[in-house]
């Protein structure tokens, strides 16, 4: 998968995507991520990409012209499956959305700042609007990093058995069961016997039961979907 990201803060995005599983995905050539500084397409020598909003009010709005030039210049190189705008009023990201987006070849992400981008860009270029939850961030960059991480780890070959996405929380609408590692007893706190039993069927059943209990107690909203 190839992901292009248009942003005024490329540094903010590059760092979170350069470690751990995202680093491995890129080293293996399964994922490429290119950040593009919107100021390359600024309307003047001061690097201006935003302006006051019509109708008045506090906060700047990202202008049409730099965004259109950025998008169209990148579209000359690639055909995008989706052009995604990261915005708190978008559809909330969940595992199902991440699963679906991971099937695409080329994505273009646009990070908003200030009061957001001119509405006409949303009408004429954006194909999907994504939020990462009901709270406000200073800009779309951290949300874009979250989205790329959630998608990137699902690409075939990125995860191995030890990190398999199949046992993640939210796949099958269940939270993950509790996990333990050595020692079997620490300060008198014991690892559940069943996990030391060596009986794979019993262990599987126990994990499934714990996942169900945990989901029912902590996330009744998700548990409802599991039952469907
Ligand atoms: Cl995508 N952007 C911003 N600025 N804030 C958010 C968000 C996105 N998702 C949740 N909060």
Query: Considering the domain boundaries, does residue 94 fall inside one?
Result: yes
**Percent of the chain residues past pLDDT 70, beyond the cut:** 99
- CA separation for the pair 47, 11 (Å, rounded): 17
Report whether residue 135 contacts ligand 1, using a CB cutoff of 6 Å: yes
Host domain of residue 57 = 2-152
**DSSP assignments along 28-86, one per residue:** TTS-EEEEEEGGGG-SSTT---EEEPTT--SSEEE-HHHHHHHHHHHHTT---SEEEEE
Give the pLDDT of residue 167.
72
Query: Considering the domain boundaries, does residue 159 fall inside one?
Result: no
DSSP-derived secondary structure letter, 153: T
Query: Considering the domain boundaries, does residue 162 fall inside one?
Result: no
Task: Identify the domain boundary among 152, 182, 198.
Answer: 152
- Is the domain of 128 the same as that of 45? yes
pLDDT confidence tier of residue 169, bands split at 50, 70 and 90? confident
- Is the domain of 101 the same as that of 207? no
Query: Considering the domain boundaries, does residue 45 fall inside one?
Result: yes
- Is the domain of 15 the same as that of 66? yes
- Is the domain of 17 the same as that of 92? yes
Give the pLDDT of residue 110.
98
Residue 165 alpha carbon to ligand 1 centre in Å? 25
CB 111 within 8 A of CB 132: no
User: For position 219, which CATH number holds?
Assistant: 1.10.1270.20
Q: 166 or 214: which carries more pLDDT confidence? A: 214
| pLDDT greater than 90 at residue 10 | yes
137 in a known ligand binding site: yes
pLDDT, tens digit, for every residue of 61-85?
999 999 999 999 999 999 999 999 9
- Is the domain of 133 the same as that of 215? no
Give the pLDDT of residue 163.
65
- Is the domain of 25 the same as that of 132? yes
Instruction: Supply 79's token pair.
Output: 């055909």
Q: What is the ipTM of this complex?
A: 0.97
pLDDT, tens digit, for every residue of 197-219?
999 999 999 999 999 999 999 99
Q: How many domains does the chain have?
A: 2
112 in a known ligand binding site: yes
Query: Considering the domain boundaries, does residue 104 fall inside one?
Result: yes
Contacts of 144 (CB under 8 A, 6+ apart): 5, 7, 13, 86, 109, 111
Query: Considering the domain boundaries, does residue 38 fall inside one?
Result: yes
User: For position 39, which CATH number holds?
Assistant: 3.40.1280.10
Task: Identify the domain boundary among 126, 152, 178.
Answer: 152
Query: Considering the domain boundaries, does residue 161 fall inside one?
Result: no
State the angle between helix axes of 141-152 and 20-27 in degrees (0 to 180), rounded to the nearest 10: 60
Query: Considering the domain boundaries, does residue 66 fall inside one?
Result: yes
- Is the domain of 187 the same as that of 123? no
- Is the domain of 46 the same as that of 141? yes
Residue 106 alpha carbon to ligand 1 centre in Å? 22
- Is the domain of 175 the same as that of 134? no
**DSSP assignments along 122-145, one per residue:** HHHT-SEEEESSSS--SBSHHHHH
Q: What would the mean pLDDT of 165-174 be, rounded to a whole number?
A: 81
- Best mutation site among 59, 114, 140 for ligand 1 pocket (most ligand atoms within 8 Å of CB): 140
pLDDT, tens digit, for every residue of 137-163?
999 999 999 999 999 999 999 998 766
Report whether residue 142 contacts ligand 1, using a CB cutoff of 6 Å: no
Q: Which of 54-68, 169-183, 193-207 has the lowest mean pLDDT?
A: 169-183
Residue 66 alpha carbon to ligand 1 centre in Å? 21
CB 74 within 8 A of CB 4: yes
- Is the domain of 148 the same as that of 175? no
Q: What would the mean pLDDT of 98-116 be, rounded to a whole number?
A: 95
- CA separation for the pair 221, 212 (Å, rounded): 13
Give the pLDDT of residue 162.
62
- Is the domain of 131 the same as that of 174? no
- Is the domain of 90 the same as that of 135? yes
Give the pLDDT of residue 74.
98
Report whether residue 116 contacts ligand 1, using a CB cutoff of 6 Å: no
């Amino acid at each position: 998968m190839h992901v292009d990201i248009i942003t005024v803060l490329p540094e903010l995005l590059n760092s979170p995507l350069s470690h751990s599983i995202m680093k491995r995905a890129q080293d293996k050539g399964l994922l490429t991520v290119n950040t593009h500084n919107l100021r390359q397409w600024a309307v003047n020598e001061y690097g201006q990409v935003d302006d006051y909003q019509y109708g008045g009010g506090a906060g700047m709005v990202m202008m049409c012209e730099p965004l259109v030039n950025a998008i169209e210049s990148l579209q000359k190189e690639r055909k995008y499956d989706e052009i995604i705008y990261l915005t708190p009023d978008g559809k909330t990201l969940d595992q199902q959305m991440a699963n679906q987006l991971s099937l695409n070849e080329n994505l273009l992400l646009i990070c908003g700042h200030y009061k957001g981008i001119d509405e006409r860009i949303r009408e004429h270029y954006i194909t999907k609007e994504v939020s990462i939850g009901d709270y406000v961030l200073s800009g779309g960059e951290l949300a874009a990093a979250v989205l790329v991480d959630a998608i990137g780890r699902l690409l075939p070959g990125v995860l191995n058995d030890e990190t398999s996405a199949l046992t993640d929380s939210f796949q099958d609408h269940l939270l993950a069961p509790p996990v333990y590692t050595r020692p079997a007893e620490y300060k008198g706190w014991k690892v559940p016997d069943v996990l030391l039993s060596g009986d794979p069927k019993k262990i599987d059943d126990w994990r499934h039961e714990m996942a169900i209990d945990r989901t029912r107690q902590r996330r009744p909203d998700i548990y409802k979907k599991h039952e469907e």
